[in-house]
Amino acid sequence: MDFRTRICLLIIAIGMANFLAYAIGYTVVGGESVRGHIYEVEKTGTRYYYLDSDKEVSRDKFVYIGIHSISIWVTVAAVMLAMLTMAKDRIADSMRDAAMRGRTFCTILAIVVLVSMTALTFLFVREFVIEFENPEIVQSRPTKQMVQSPQATPTTLPAPDSDGSK
């Protein structure tokens, strides 16, 4: 087995282990935090962290789960690129008579993988950071009803119409 193949197999094994760890963690913890919610009590500044399953967790657990969720996109990209690298020669050989050369096809696939996984990683990071920077302000500790429907607890009054009426 050549060096390139060993590296690709190692990347695939690490990626699969990361995904397995994420799946087990998601099941054990009961949710993920990128789509979760953070509530801050207005008077005390105390923050409460809830996963997407409405389960309350500590800040450290919320951050760890969020980072692990984000890392999935990076490892998916690495696994897909490693698999493409291993299959590149076979794809190139099978596309000799095709309109597009096999190596060109592999390069285009690699670019699509990189662009799409980078975009998904960026979106997850952005959503996670926005949630930390803009927690929902509440008057007291969140109740089960507030957590299940965060839109049902407005934190600001609606703006009056342009003519001054409500």
Q: What is the pLDDT of residues 36-84, one digit of tens each?
A: 999 999 999 999 999 999 899 999 999 999 999 999 999 999 999 999 9
Domain ranges across the chain: 3-141
Q: Cα separation of 114 and 118, whole Å?
A: 6
Q: What pTM value is reported for the model?
A: 0.76
Is the alpha carbon torsion for 118, 123, 127, 129 positive or negative?
A: positive
Indicate whether 157 pLDDT > 70: no
Please choose, from the candidates 32, 122, 35, 5, the residue with its C-alpha nearest in 3D space to the C-alpha of residue 74.
122
SS (H, E, C) 95-131: CCCCCCCHHHHHHHHHHHHHHHHHHHHHHHHHHHHHH
pLDDT digits (tens, 9 = 90+) for 89-130: 888 888 877 777 888 888 999 999 999 999 999 999 999 999
Take residue 48 and report the two structure tokens written for it. 């409460």
